[in-house]
Amino acid sequence: MPTGVAMRNAREQLFDAAERVLLRDGPNALTSRAVTTEADCAKGVLHRHFADFDAFLAELVLDRAGRIGGQAAALRGSAGTGTVAGNLAGALTELFETVAVAIVGLVISRDDLRVRLRGAGAPGIPILAEAGAMLASYLAAECEMGRIAVDADVDTLAFTLVGAGHLLYAGAGGVPPETGALDRIVTTVIADVVQRRLL
């Protein structure tokens, strides 16, 4: 991009460029030069908006984790409709078919980024932590409606589902898991707390 030409929504353009690099080339290829080249802008643009590259990465992760809030509201709103297993599988598919798996890989691969995220108050591993909270909130709503046992440990169920879903998608190397694999996992995990006719 020529000097003196302003980028509209520079932060979002840089975040989108970083996602493309991350998905195409993996976390080790994610450098400030790769991001600005992908965004077709001067390297100085990134440093005008962020203190350094680690600050950029931290804000990218927090921004993408924050987007789960909208999905969480929709999922909680679906309580009492459809099937519990179908709602959970749909939410996990929506989550892990985005850049989420790549973002988690980025966080795991960079020690400095994890430290910075903890300093920003991010719990656990961002994306996975928010996903766990999203599923736990939905499961709690289903408990209130009587579709799940009132004594169900919704936090453990949620994190079990997130962990299993992440492993299923992360191990696929960018290829969606086989049809029905996620449905089988969800059905198995919740089998003891959901009435059979509601699965």
Per-domain boundaries in the chain: 10-49, 64-198
Backbone angles phi, psi at 194, to 5 degrees: -115, 135
CATH number of 64-198: 1.10.357
The pLDDT of residue 131 is above 50 = yes
What integer pLDDT is reported at residue 6 of this predicted model?
A: 52
Mean pLDDT of 100-124: 88
pTM over 0.75: yes
Which class is 10-49 in CATH? mainly alpha
What integer pLDDT is reported at residue 12 of this predicted model?
A: 93
Instruction: Give tens-digit pLDDT for 25-53.
Output: 988 899 999 999 999 998 889 989 999 99
Q: What is the Cα–Cα distance from 102 to 91, expressed in whole angstroms?
A: 17
% residues pLDDT > 90 (the chain): 68
The pLDDT of residue 5 is above 70 = no
The pLDDT of residue 77 is above 60 = yes
The pLDDT of residue 73 is above 50 = yes
How many Cβ atoms are within 10 Å of 121's Cβ, its own excluded?
Answer: 7
- Amino acid making up residue 10: A
What integer pLDDT is reported at residue 195 of this predicted model?
A: 61
